């Protein structure tokens, strides 16, 4: 099997694209893992052939680490890498399956909050879908991301909310996501999660954990937020490795506020290549595990 290399997709100097991979690149260099860097700006601007022009021929197997790309952008990058006789470990079908909530929801429905979705940005249609979940509270996002940084204005629909309240939050989500709004609305039943002792102005921070899966196994995990304790036993979560049809993905899990033994729920599934590392996770732990398998 060809040696695995890391393909970092990072913004050019002065770009408005966020770069979350500098520390990881340093860790990979310290571990002597081969790595290449391509321009995130070119990939996002649908110029993947130009982005990969500096890659050597027969580059081998590459693990993408970079910003969230649409399925179409990732497919373009995948093809451009193939044209240089390389191979991204995660193929476009696996990328789409892990990244877009409706693509993987049925495979984890028994482990996730009740969820409905639309395939357009129509707010009226989204409200009708939400009503199928019963009364609020609900959470609203698009097929890929939420806007939880604006919790009350663009994410959370409280108990007793009216149709007008829903429309206000959905509209704000559309404004914030802009041309990156992905495919349609996703509405989830809000569940009471166990929380940490830390809170923001708007809410308590949940006891949430990010798990990295590589080839069906958990290889690295840490609290999602920069507070909280690590989970000692992750065996209950291992079944997710067989549920998600991707060799590299993340699962964000949280414990419910009630339930014995501690009941848990899948908060989010994501492609591993675009998932950022929690602050408590040492990037060397992840990359040692990936290269070793």
Question: Is residue 102 a part of any domain in this protein?
Answer: no
Closest of 225, 259, 219, 257 to residue 237, by C-alpha = 219
Residues 6+ positions from 182 with CB-CB distance below 8 Å = 70, 100, 142, 143, 144, 145
Q: What φ, ψ does residue 41 adopt, rounded to 5°?
A: -60, -45
Extract the tokens encoding 207. 């006891």
When divided into structural domains, the chain yields a total of 3
34 and 118 share one domain = no
Burial of 111 (0-12, 13-18, 19+ CB in 10 A): middle
pLDDT at 193: 87
pLDDT at 65: 97
Task: Compute the distance between CA of residue 228 and CA of residue 224 in angstroms, rounded to an integer.
Answer: 9
Question: Is residue 148 a part of any domain in this protein?
Answer: yes
pLDDT at 79: 98
pLDDT at 234: 94
List, for the chain, all residue ranges whose pLDDT scores fall below the cut of 50: 1
Last residue of a domain, one of 159, 189, 219: 189
Question: Is residue 46 a part of any domain in this protein?
Answer: yes
238 and 202 share one domain = yes
The model scores a pTM over 0.75: yes
Question: Is residue 207 a part of any domain in this protein?
Answer: yes
Question: Is residue 71 a part of any domain in this protein?
Answer: yes
267 and 200 share one domain = yes
pLDDT at 71: 98
Last residue of a domain, one of 145, 168, 189: 189
pLDDT at 198: 56
Terminal alpha carbon distance of the chain: 11
Extract the tokens encoding 83. 């044209």
Last residue of a domain, one of 189, 215, 241: 189
65 and 118 share one domain = no
Domain housing 256:
192-286
282 and 196 share one domain = yes
Question: Is residue 292 a part of any domain in this protein?
Answer: no
pLDDT at 144: 98
pLDDT at 229: 77
48 and 13 share one domain = yes
**Strand-strand pairing, 248-255 and 208-214:** antiparallel
277 and 196 share one domain = yes
Question: Is residue 101 a part of any domain in this protein?
Answer: no
pLDDT at 69: 97
Task: Compute the distance between CA of residue 133 and CA of residue 76 in angstroms, rounded to an integer.
Answer: 37
Distance of CA 135 to the CA centre of its chain: 27
201 and 254 share one domain = yes
Give the tens place of pLDDT for each residue, 62-111.
999 999 999 999 999 999 999 999 999 999 999 999 999 999 999 999 99
203 and 282 share one domain = yes
Sign of CA dihedral 221, 222, 224, 229: positive
CATH code assigned at 142: 3.30.1490.20
Extract the tokens encoding 266. 């899948």
pLDDT at 200: 52
> Residues 254, 210: contact at Cβ < 8 Å?
no
196 and 185 share one domain = no
Question: Is residue 240 a part of any domain in this protein?
Answer: yes
- Contacts by 158-161 with C-beta closer than 8 Å and gap 24+? 159/135, 160/136, 161/136, 161/137
CATH code assigned at 272: 3.30.470
């Amino acid at each position: 099997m060809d040696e695995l290399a890391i393909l970092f997709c990072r913004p050019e100097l002065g770009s408005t694209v966020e770069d979350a991979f500098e520390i990881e690149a340093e860790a990979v260099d310290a571990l002597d893992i081969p790595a290449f860097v391509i321009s995130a700006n070119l990939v996002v601007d649908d110029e993947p052939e130009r982005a990969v022009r500096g890659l050597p021929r027969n580059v081998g197997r590459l693990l993408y680490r970079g910003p969230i790309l649409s399925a179409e952008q990732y497919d373009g990058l995948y093809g451009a890498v193939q044209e240089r006789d390389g191979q991204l470990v995660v193929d476009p079908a696996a990328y789409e399956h892990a990244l877009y909530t409706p693509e993987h929801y049925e495979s984890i429905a028994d482990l996730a909050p009740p969820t409905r979705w639309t395939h357009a940005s129509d707010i009226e249609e989204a409200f009708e879908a939400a009503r199928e979940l019963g009364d609020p509270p609900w959470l609203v996002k698009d097929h890929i991301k939420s806007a939880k940084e604006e919790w009350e204005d663009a994410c959370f629909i409280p108990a007793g909310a009216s149709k007008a309240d829903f429309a206000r939050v959905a509209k704000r989500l559309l404004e914030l996501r802009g041309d990156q709004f992905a495919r349609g609305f996703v509405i989830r039943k809000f569940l009471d999660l166990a929380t940490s002792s830390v809170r923001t102005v708007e809410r308590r921070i949940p006891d949430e954990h990010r798990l990295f899966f590589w080839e069906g196994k958990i290889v690295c995990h840490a609290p999602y937020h920069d507070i909280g304790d690590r989970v000692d036993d992750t065996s209950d979560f291992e079944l997710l490795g067989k549920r998600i049809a991707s060799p590299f993905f993340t699962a964000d899990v949280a414990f419910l506020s009630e339930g014995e033994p501690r009941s848990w729920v899948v908060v989010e599934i994501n492609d591993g290549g675009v998932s950022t590392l929690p602050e408590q996770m040492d990037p060397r732990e992840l990359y040692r595990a990936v290269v070793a398998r």
